[in-house]
């Protein structure tokens, strides 16, 4: 798999996901017939070994840089090797890889550059303050984009070659900015954005890198980031976030 033999690449950022990453890689290959690139973002367990054994190409960061940096590494690989379509899949098993066909179709048949898979359209529930924060964030971002995005923090996405080329050059690195700010940057660059419903499961193993309190903190931070984005845009385009 050192050289691409297909038209679809799945980028899987992973940090200490030895409990699930092997099954995720196998599911992607089986359901999508895609090549898989796992970015081991400084894991201290067997994530890299198990991902490689399952059939993925593995790139290892020497220490944890965050999901945004892992994705940028993946986008650089995809641009260098010439994949026309890329999907982003979590390593924890939450994303239903069979449902990724809808994401890919939106790029290939619909001409969309960045497709967000919305978990909420299929009834996924979050509770309390986090739900309220996410709804407020989604309304604000949707107004900016001129497109309704109900799940702005979803990491289940597909990208066109045009989007890959843009994000290989610069991609937000702060927690959750890799999802929300990426939408704003795509809009700034005239990329076409859309959302499709997808099914998501509960985490199949391991544990999340951010708890509820941290997630709510970052959602509030993102509201501030979104509010000043138009004034920060030159810096973001030049060197990332």
Whichever domain contains 130, its CATH number is: 3.90.550.10
State CA 206 to chain mean position distance: 19
Give yes or no for residue 239 having a pLDDT over 60.
Answer: no
Residue 234 lies in a domain: yes
- 2 within a domain of the structure (yes/no): no
Mean pLDDT (whole number) for 65-79: 96
- The tokens for 1 are 């798999």
More confident residue, 230 or 209: 230
Joined together, the tokens standing for residue 91 give 């390593």
Q: What is the mean pLDDT of residues 3-20?
A: 88
Total domains in the fold of the chain: 1
Burial 26-35 (b: 16+ CB within 10 A, else e): bbbbeebebb
Is pLDDT above 80 for 36? Answer: yes
Residue in the structure block whose two tokens are 């309704």: 148
CA dihedral 38, 43, 47, 52 (to 10 degrees): 50
pLDDT band at 132 (very low <50, low <70, confident <90, very high): confident
Residue 225 near residue 180 (C-beta atoms within 8 A): yes
pLDDT given for residue 205 in this prediction: 53
Does residue 3 form part of some domain? no
Percentage of residues of the chain with pLDDT beyond 70 = 77
* Domain membership of residue 109 as a residue range: 8-239
What's the pLDDT band for 238 if we cut at 50, 70, 90?
A: very low
Residue 157 belongs to some domain of the structure = yes
162, part of any domain: yes
Mean pLDDT of the chain: 86
Comparison of pLDDT for 127 and 197, the residue scoring more:
197
Is residue 85 domain-resident?
yes
Q: What is the pLDDT of residue 135?
A: 83
Which pLDDT does position 229 carry in this prediction? Answer: 66
The verdict on residue 1 lying in a domain is no
3-state SS, residue 160 = strand
Residue 23 pLDDT > 90, yes or no? yes
CB 75 within 8 A of CB 52: no
Q: Tell me whether residue 168 is in a domain.
A: yes
CB 79, CB 164: distance < 8 Å: yes
pLDDT digit string, tens, across residues 187-214: 999 999 999 999 888 755 555 555 566 6
Cα four-point dihedral sign 28, 33, 39, 40: positive
pLDDT the model gives residue 5: 54
Give the mean pLDDT of 68-89: 97
Q: What is the mean pLDDT of residues 41-68?
A: 97
**pLDDT above 90: residue 45:** yes
Q: How confident is the model at residue 63 (pLDDT cuts 50, 70, 90)?
A: very high
CB-side neighbour CA atoms (13 Å) of 110:
19
Is it the case that residue 117 has pLDDT exceeding 80?
Answer: yes
């Amino acid at each position: 798999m050192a050289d691409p033999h297909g038209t679809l690449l799945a980028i899987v950022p992973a940090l200490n996901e030895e409990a699930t990453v092997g099954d995720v890689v196998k599911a992607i290959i089986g359901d999508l017939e895609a090549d898989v690139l796992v970015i081991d973002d400084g894991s201290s367990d067997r994530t890299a070994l198990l991902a490689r054994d399952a059939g993925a190409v593995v790139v290892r960061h020497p220490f944890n840089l965050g999901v945004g940096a892992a994705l940028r590494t993946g986008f650089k690989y995809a641009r260098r090797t010439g994949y026309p379509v890329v999907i982003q899949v979590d390593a924890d098993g939450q994303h239903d890889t069979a449902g990724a066909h809808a994401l890919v179709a939106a790029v290939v048949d619909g001409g969309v550059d960045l497709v967000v898979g919305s978990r909420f359209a299929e009834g996924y529930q979050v509770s309390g303050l986090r739900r309220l924060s996410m709804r407020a964030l989604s309304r604000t971002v949707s107004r900016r984009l001129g497109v309704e995005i109900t799940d702005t923090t979803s990491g289940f996405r597909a990208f066109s070659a045009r989007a890959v080329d843009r994000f290989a050059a610069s991609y937000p690195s702060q927690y959750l900015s890799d999802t929300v700010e990426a939408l704003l940057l795509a809009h700034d660059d005239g990329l076409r954005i859309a959302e499709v419903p997808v099914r998501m499961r509960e985490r199949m193993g391991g544990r999340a890198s951010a708890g509820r309190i941290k997630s709510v903190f970052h959602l509030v931070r993102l509201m501030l980031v979104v509010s000043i984005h138009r004034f920060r845009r030159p810096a973001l385009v030049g060197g990332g976030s």
